[in-house]
């Protein structure tokens, strides 16, 4: 079969990546979709159940940091479009083992860029999916794409460093890159280290509260735990709206540009916990606080990441899913799939020494 486009998605078995892959495979049968994923702890092959027999879908299990593999893909597959999502993203883990984050987020991006740039078939677009955290925190100012980057944790610092690599290929080679920076993305199939699925998993386990540590999410530990007493909040964007933004910048975005992908839905973390308690435990208002425990924050916790998305909106994008509908779908999915992540070995969350990729 002759395909009009070949699209490479790195990290396509992860939370956001799997939703993007589903949209591409189902929505663009005339495109060939290649998913390159190492299947790390936060990925599940079940996220893409049903795609393995599609004519326009190929899965390659492998490391984006492996130059032999990545070069081979670009030499043999005539890649037209790259969506680069493969990354380590858990902030607490980035403080514990920043070298792993540097390897995957920075070195992996370097390997991918170099292979794409040197490929005999020149790609049309390289879309790098970054994060609002590269801006740092703000109590009042909402960041636009021209604001300076001031990351405050190792995860965000590696994403910012990768952005500079991506932009350097545009500056030197006019390689057709686009960068997106999105708010917190949530929805079904997200791994339980992130705040919404973490709270849902804890509440469903129906036990006592534990410190904020995803490795301790066991059946003997329990409910929603809040870091500190400060007014920490996050902007939440439903995953399908993020996917539509990525597809829009592919078709209408200007090469060399950055696009914020933001939402007006800002939820204080304490309010989020209380809302989830009401939805999951169905308790009276006087009992809600019985399911919430405050613990000490890590030394540096950013209070909020407000961004402005007018630039993307001028292309025609709007977040379509309301908070009420998005959180309803998310809660229902975790209630319907309580065992989805039970087979994950959470000791894999942090590797004390990065794996070695040859010839990097």
**Is 40 labeled as catalytic in the residue annotation?**
no
Q: Please list the alpha-helical segments (H only) found in 145-263.
A: 154-173, 195-205, 239-252
**Residue 308 DSSP SS3:** coil
**Is 107 labeled as catalytic in the residue annotation?**
no
> Alpha-carbon distance 342 to 16, whole Å?
20
Of the residues 63, 107, 132, 241, which is catalytic? 132
Of the residues 40, 133, 145, 346, which is catalytic? 133
Residues 6+ apart with CB under 8 A from 30: 3, 4, 5, 56
Q: What are the backbone angles phi and psi of residue 327, rounded to the nearest 5°?
A: -75, -30
Buried b / exposed e over 271-299, threshold 16 CB at 10 Å, is ebbbbbbebbbeeeeeebeebbbeeeeee
Q: How far is CA 58 from CA 44, 284, 300, in A?
A: 16, 49, 41
Buried b / exposed e over 98-122, threshold 16 CB at 10 Å, is bebbbbbbbbbbbbbbbbbeebeee
Of the residues 155, 186, 305, 334, which is catalytic? 155
Q: Percent helix, strand and coil across the chain, each rounded to 5?
A: 40, 15, 40
**Is 310 labeled as catalytic in the residue annotation?**
no
Note whether 24 and 49 are within 8 A (CB).
no
- Max distance between CA atoms of the chain, in angstroms, equals 65
> Alpha-carbon distance 221 to 288, whole Å?
18
Q: Of 103, 31, 21, which Cα lies nearest the Cα of 352? A: 103
Tokens 């390159």 sit on residue = 36
Tokens 């883990």 sit on residue = 93
Angle of CA points 87, 213, 14, to nearest 5°:
25
Residues noted as catalytic: 132-133, 155
């Amino acid at each position: 079969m002759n395909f009009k486009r070949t699209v490479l998605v790195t990290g396509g078995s992860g939370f956001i990546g799997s939703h993007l892959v589903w949209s591409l495979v189902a929505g663009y049968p005339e495109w060939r979709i290649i998913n390159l994923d190492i299947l790390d702890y936060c990925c599940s092959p079940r996220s893409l159940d049903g795609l393995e027999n599609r004519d326009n879908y190929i899965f390659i299990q492998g490391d984006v940091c492996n130059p032999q593999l990545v070069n081979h893909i670009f030499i043999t597959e005539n890649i037209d479009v790259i969506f680069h999502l493969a990354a380590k993203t858990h902030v607490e883990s980035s403080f514990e083992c920043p070298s792993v984050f540097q390897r995957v987020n920075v070195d992996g991006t370097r390997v991918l860029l170099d292979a794409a740039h040197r490929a005999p078939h020149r790609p049309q677009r390289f879309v790098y999916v970054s994060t609002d955290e590269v801006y740092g925190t703000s109590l009042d100012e909402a960041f636009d794409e021209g604001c300076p980057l001031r990351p405050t944790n190792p995860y965000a610092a590696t994403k910012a460093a990768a952005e500079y690599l991506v932009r350097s290929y545009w500056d030197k080679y006019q390689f057709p890159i686009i960068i997106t920076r999105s708010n917190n993305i949530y929805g079904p199939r997200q791994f339980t280290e992130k705040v919404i699925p973490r709270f849902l998993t804890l509440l469903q386990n129906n036990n006592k509260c534990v410190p904020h540590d995803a490795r301790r999410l066991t059946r003997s530990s329990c409910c929603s735990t809040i870091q500190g007493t400060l007014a920490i909040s996050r902007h939440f964007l439903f995953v399908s709206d993020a996917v539509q933004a990525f597809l829009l910048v592919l078709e209408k975005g200007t090469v060399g540009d950055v696009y914020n992908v933001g939402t007006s839905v800002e939820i204080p973390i304490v309010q989020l916990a209380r809302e989830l308690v009401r939805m999951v435990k169905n308790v009276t208002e006087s009992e809600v606080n019985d399911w919430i425990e405050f613990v000490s924050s890590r030394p540096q916790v950013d209070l909020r990441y407000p961004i402005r998305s007018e630039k993307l909106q001028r292309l025609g994008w709007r977040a379509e899913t309301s908070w009420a509908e998005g959180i309803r779908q998310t809660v229902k999915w975790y209630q319907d799939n309580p065992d989805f992540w039970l087979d994950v070995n959470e000791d894999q969350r942090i590797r004390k020494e990065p794996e070695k990729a040859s010839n990097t």
